[in-house]
Amino acid sequence: MITYAIKIDDEACWGCRTCEVACMQEFTLQGGVRLIKMEEEGPAMKDGKPYFLFRMNLCRHCDDPPCMKACGDSAIYKRGDSIVVMDYDKCTGCRLCIDACPYGSIDFDETAGTAKKCNLCHGRVDGGLIPACADNVCLAHCIHFGEPGEITGKIEKQKLIRKGLSG
Amino acid sequence: MPEFTFSNTAREIEYHGFDGVVKSHCRMCHGGCGVLVYTKKGKVAKISGDPACPINRGTICSKAMASAQLAYHPDRLTHPVKRIGPKGSGKWERISWDSALDIIAEKILTYKESHGAESVVLGYGTGRENEAAIYRMANLLGSPNVLTAGHFCYGPRIATSIITCGSNPIVDYENHPKCVMVWGNNIVISNPDEYKGEGFSSAVERGAKLIVVDPRLTRMAARADIWLQLRPGTDTALAFGMLNVIISEKLYDRDFVENHVHGWEPFVKRVNEYPLDRVEKITWVPAEKIREAARLYATTKPAGIQWGVAIEQQINCADNDRILMALMGITGNIDAPGGQVLFNAPKIRNVGQFGAHKMLPKEQAAKRLGGDRFRLAGYFGIINPKCVWDAVLEEKPYPVKMMFLISSNPVMTRANAREVYRALEKVEFLAVSDFFITATAELADIVLPAATWLEMDYIGDYWKRHGYILPRRKVIEVGECRSDHEMLNDLAHRIGQGEHWWENFGKALDYILEPMGITWQDFKKMDYIRGEVKYYKYKEKGFSTPTGKFELYSTMMEKWGYDPLPEYTEPVESPVSTPGLYEDYPFILITGRRIPGYFHTENRQLRWMRGLSRDPVVEIHPGAAGKAGINEGDWVKIESPRGAIRMRAKLFAGMDERIVSAEHAWWFPENKSPSHGWDESNINILTDNSYDSCDPAMGATSVRTLLCRITRDENQGEHS
């Protein structure tokens, strides 16, 4: 079976936060709830050079998701295409998944009283649409959706191109 | 595997149950991006980028997506109102468009009669593609006074480029520059004119060399091959240093210099006054780094300088622009594919013609406020704002009685905000057109409800210099809101200008397009029109300047009595120019770094945007913060000789310890009192607007670099 992932090439990200708002638009999220959010690394000196990087934090759709194990309500499941989905109808708001996620990628929606996370736009994917944040909104073209191996290859190739090591 | 394609409109419509999609052209900043606007039950439901648009190639920014939140915001003004209490009382009554425009028309005609047309000032803020219509009305009225941001934003690039080489040189991202030098600009976050961040980003991703000139560490600076971390306000000196290297090492384009520039010898003489050791002392940038950057920029072809507004909001405004053009010129990058191109506009009636500048009688033009003092600005119809405040407050050189501000919030965005506020309090009649009753509009007599870009037909990017025009197609109507163009067209008929305007503004679009033999209805069916793309035009026709050459030595500046060559001036307030003041105000304050989601004062009402940045932020180096007892997230007091404001501290190690960096344009629309907290965190409470602090030719105010003191605020409570 085909599997899907989103991978963000952090080296290319400029921190414009458009993907965050694309996600808000898709799910009409209240301002505070984030399924994808920008985090800053640095400023610092690294290898004698100034270092400052943006990293987008969103659900990694783990192979063996700790959140799924932590959820006592079976509200989180992993699909055959490897997308980890949280079913908000089943979520009772116990927040155990939030504690279990090693990446801090699960948020809590105070209005709805449930946890919320990136479900990789599984509805869009089933409808043949690219997830909202990856659907060509990003001016750096650094959000990649597709088969994990393929997009990792794309990102690795792009790293060489931007260093002038490959055409 | 299903076929996934970007921006699959058919599936998008099916999946969300949308009614359909309209292609249009966003204007959440100055305009620029082609967009797809999806609707559901007649309302805007989703906005995404149009992959067919050459400006943004399908990509988009956060503001564009929030456009529907703006259009449908519950606080939005959707009908004209008239103030019924004292100024600033927040007491309004609804009136009809007819009444509102009749009142404004009557005031215009009365003041013209009693105090001359010059006593009526029309104004706009940053470029919102309504400028040509506003100038048209002012010129036909006989008022030489149009108050804009043009003295310190983009206007200087237009003015200085026209006198130097005939037009604004635009980085030709479609032909992939091999080196980009970003100077005082954050093109990936901000609201660039012409091309958007996508073209720049793609150039870097293709391996273009990157040089970044910025006192702060941005992501661009972190990625740069060379980051020139200059002392704020010393840009001209830094450019002199680079020119010194390029000239002494003979890295310039010989043919260009020998055949196409004016004033090479005196220019070189001036450059020689800036040896690298001197430049290092002025700029804090190590000489070797300057040398390395100069070599990289001059020897990597084609190269472009991505310049931004930060270099213009200084006393060195015009000379910063001119000296960067000197770099572009002598390296042979002007009009080179992938370099910086003087693009041809499509053959339409241009903004200059539409603005009816020739209709302004000479004797009225001679009355332009500040025209004698700021002669470069005056020549281009641009005025310095303080000239207007003084004309209101002191009635010198003559009284200004009425102002009509269209999409402008000057109590937030112009230097010395308290003086601005006093002037707007005093002016006899103030009309405002805006989306909301802003802090400025609270001082108005009449406020008109302006349409957003979603509610208008227009020729997008009409005034830009990349050579494109793109149709902005009306998608929705909201309340009684009207586009500024329609409003002005209606008002024009009421002040006796009917013969120069149209039955409706749609006909004006036909008039603009007429030379191409098409109408608005034809253009609406097209994606865009681009002027003829030609490179190296100067080789046949020379440059459109008095000498026909690229004027390193400006004959126009000389004629106006200015130094014909660029020269470095120390910032008005700095450790060097005002050491005494520096003892009391021991930080260099830089202002206006761009943050995603906001466009100057706009969008703080929109929950998605406010969700990105809730509070006004001042960045301070952790070392300096430690000494001052300031912790991450503390409310701090920032003081200048003009006043004090408060912001939240963010500890940021990406700049020199002697610098702090504050955001601009912060007010609190959620504060429902008529003040809307306009003076709590407004950076312009701190800035200076005295004439001597402005660029002597352009009248640019020095809002970007000043001195300040910063302390932990005793009051750690939230803003009002």
Tell me, what CATH number does B289's domain have? Answer: 3.40.228.10
Specify whether B40 is located in the same domain as B187. Answer: no
Specify whether B146 is located in the same domain as B171. Answer: no
Could you tell me the CA-to-CA distances from B675 to B407, B433, B667, B668, B672 in Å, in that order?
Answer: 18, 18, 9, 9, 8
Six-digit token pair at A156?
């690795």
Q: Does any domain span residue B1?
A: no
What integer is the mean pLDDT of B420-445?
98
Q: Per-residue pLDDT for A31 more than 90?
A: no
Q: How far apart are CA B298 and CA B252, in angstroms?
A: 7
Specify whether B555 is located in the same domain as B509. Answer: no
Q: What is the pLDDT of residue B514?
A: 98
**Chain A interface disruption, residue of B12, B36, B60, most A CBs within 10 A:** B60
B188–A158 C-beta distance less than 8 A: no
Out of A30, A42, A139, name the one closest to residue B201 (CB).
Answer: A139
Q: What is the pLDDT of residue B2?
A: 63
pLDDT-based confidence at residue B720 (cuts at 50, 70, 90): confident
CATH code assigned at B401: 3.40.50.740
The CATH architecture one would assign to domain A5-162 is 2-Layer Sandwich (3.30)
Specify whether B335 is located in the same domain as B214. Answer: yes
Chain A: residue nearest B201 by CA?
A140
- Measure B402 CA to nearest chain A CA, in Å: 40
Q: Per-residue pLDDT for B271 more than 80?
A: yes
- Measure B478 CA to nearest chain A CA, in Å: 20
Q: Per-residue pLDDT for B1 more than 60?
A: no
pLDDT-based confidence at residue A140 (cuts at 50, 70, 90): very high
A16–B219 C-beta distance less than 8 A: no
Q: What is the pLDDT of residues B282-327, one digit of tens each?
A: 999 999 999 999 999 999 999 999 999 999 999 999 999 999 999 9
Q: Does any domain span residue B218?
A: yes
Q: Does any domain span residue B535?
A: no
Q: What is the pLDDT of residue B719?
A: 84
Q: Does any domain span residue B256?
A: yes
pLDDT-based confidence at residue B3 (cuts at 50, 70, 90): confident
Residue type, B440: T
Specify whether B338 is located in the same domain as B352. Answer: no
Q: Does any domain span residue B616?
A: yes
Q: Per-residue pLDDT for A167 more than 70?
A: no
Q: Does any domain span residue B570?
A: no
Q: How far apart are CA A160 and CA A139, in angstroms?
A: 19
Cα dihedral sign, A16-A20-A26-A32: negative
Q: Per-residue pLDDT for A154 more than 90?
A: yes
What integer is the mean pLDDT of B113-128?
97
Out of B2, B59, B221, name the one closest to residue A50 (CB).
Answer: B221
Q: Per-residue pLDDT for B528 more than 90?
A: yes
Average pLDDT, chain A: 95
Domain range holding B613? 579-712
Q: How many domains does chain B have?
A: 4
CB-based contacts of B136-139 (< 8 A; 24+ apart in sequence): B136/B354, B136/B355, B136/B356, B136/B488, B136/B500, B137/B488, B137/B491, B137/B492, B137/B497, B138/B360, B139/B355, B139/B356, B139/B357, B139/B359, B139/B360
pLDDT-based confidence at residue B628 (cuts at 50, 70, 90): very high
Specify whether B320 is located in the same domain as B361. Answer: no
Q: What is the pLDDT of residues A55-91, one digit of tens each?
A: 999 999 999 999 999 999 999 999 999 999 999 999 9
CB B377, CB B385: distance < 8 Å: no
Chain B hits for A140, CB-CB cut-off 8 Å, are 188, 201, 205
pLDDT-based confidence at residue B696 (cuts at 50, 70, 90): very high
A141–B51 C-beta distance less than 8 A: no
What integer is the mean pLDDT of B478-500?
98
Specify whether B275 is located in the same domain as B187. Answer: yes
Q: What is the pLDDT of residue B273?
A: 98
Average pLDDT, chain B: 97
- Rounded percentage of chain B residues whose pLDDT exceeds 90: 98
Q: How far apart are CA B215 and CA B316, in angstroms?
A: 16
- CA angle, corner B199, sides to B197 and B205, nearest 5? 100
What integer is the mean pLDDT of B249-276?
98
A50–B48 C-beta distance less than 8 A: no
Specify whether B189 is located in the same domain as B273. Answer: yes
pLDDT-based confidence at residue B586 (cuts at 50, 70, 90): very high
Specify whether B138 is located in the same domain as B287. Answer: no
A162–B2 C-beta distance less than 8 A: no
Q: Per-residue pLDDT for B94 more than 90?
A: yes
Specify whether B429 is located in the same domain as B500. Answer: yes
- Rounded percentage of chain B residues whose pLDDT exceeds 70: 100
Specify whether B499 is located in the same domain as B440. Answer: yes
For chain A, the domains span: 5-162
Residue A60: CB partners within 8 Å, gap ≥ 6?
A103, A105
Q: Per-residue pLDDT for B617 more than 80?
A: yes
Q: How far apart are CA B628 and CA B713, in angstroms?
A: 11
Q: Does any domain span residue B660?
A: yes
Specify whether B603 is located in the same domain as B645. Answer: yes
Q: What is the pLDDT of residues B644-679, one digit of tens each?
A: 999 999 999 999 999 999 999 999 999 999 999 999
In DSSP notation, B683-715 reads: GGGT----GGGS-TTT-----SEEEEEEEE-S-
What integer is the mean pLDDT of B108-134?
97
B14–A127 C-beta distance less than 8 A: yes
Q: Per-residue pLDDT for B536 more than 90?
A: yes
Q: What is the pLDDT of residue A165?
A: 83
Q: What is the pLDDT of residue A30?
A: 75
**Residue B90's CB: how many other CB atoms inside 10 A?**
15
Please classify residue B584 by burial: count the beta carbons closer than 10 Å to its beta carbon, then call 0-12 exposed, 13-18 middle and 19+ buried. Answer: exposed
pLDDT-based confidence at residue B706 (cuts at 50, 70, 90): very high
